[in-house]
Chain A
Amino acid sequence: MKNRLKVLRAERDWTQAELAENLAVSRQTINAIEKGKFDPSLPLAFKVSRLFSMPIEDIFEEEAVD
């Protein structure tokens, strides 16, 4: 799954650690999500959506399936 987390975080001038603190997760989790190594759970995706005040589908995008 692709996501715009890094861009949204940069727009707000937040570090990975600050975003992690806001979402009550580890910095490693934010790093892994930004790098596309790990897809967040639905509750965490909703938390991200609430934090950025944006719909989930504007932050996370399913990669095309053939």
Chain B
Amino acid sequence: MSKVLDAILCKGLPARDIKNANRVNLLALLWAGTLAVTAFSKEYTWHNTMLFISIIFTLHTAIGIFMVLSFRKFLKELDDLERKIQLDALALSVGITIISFSSSSILSMVGIIEKLDQSSLIMLMAITYMIGIVAGRIKYR
């Protein structure tokens, strides 16, 4: 159990990597926050105004770009082993997501299941990515 906890809490990583990871996490939270604000704003009259759409679109896109650049910096400066774990987790995440969606599209084409939406795609990628990281950290610990 302590192995799993250590793996989740990235125990032992150099301070530089934790600082970079925290920056990426903060930007990811802000990025998700702009999506949440858009969803919750539907209840208000200003939801469809050009000003609100421009601000939220610019913010969401700009934060997204900063998030990708920060993630790139994080990977570039990352501890050797942790970089391998992250890249393996990304490969697992992208691979499983592509296979799951192409397989589910066959089922949805013949009407067995409903077509999956974008949020399922993001959710599946995030979950498989997290599983990949924790599994990698346990494997090499």
A interface residues (Cβ-Cβ under 8 A, vs B): 24-29, 31-32, 37-38, 40-41, 44
Provide the main secondary structure of the chain B interface. helix
B14 touches A26 (CB 8 A): yes
Closest CB in chain B relative to A19 CB, distance in Å: 13
B80 touches A28 (CB 8 A): no
Hey, which chain B residues are within 8 Å of A41, CB to CB? 80
A28 touches B14 (CB 8 A): no
A27 touches B12 (CB 8 A): yes
A32 touches B81 (CB 8 A): yes
Closest CB in chain A relative to B16 CB, distance in Å: 8
B14 touches A25 (CB 8 A): yes
**CA A18 to CA B140, docked complex, whole Å:** 19
For A25, give its contact among B79, B137, B140 (CB under 8 Å): B79
Hey, which chain B residues are within 8 Å of A44, CB to CB? 80
B interface residues (Cβ-Cβ under 8 A, vs A): 12-14, 16-17, 79-82, 84, 137, 139-141
Closest CB in chain A relative to B137 CB, distance in Å: 8
**CA A38 to CA B84, docked complex, whole Å:** 9
Closest CB in chain B relative to A41 CB, distance in Å: 5
Hey, which chain A residues are within 8 Å of B84, CB to CB? 38
Residue of A nearest to B83 (CB): A41
**CA A40 to CA B140, docked complex, whole Å:** 13
Hey, which chain A residues are within 8 Å of B79, CB to CB? 25-26, 29
**CA A27 to CA B141, docked complex, whole Å:** 9
For B82, give its contact among A24, A26, A31 (CB under 8 Å): A26
**CA A9 to CA B17, docked complex, whole Å:** 24
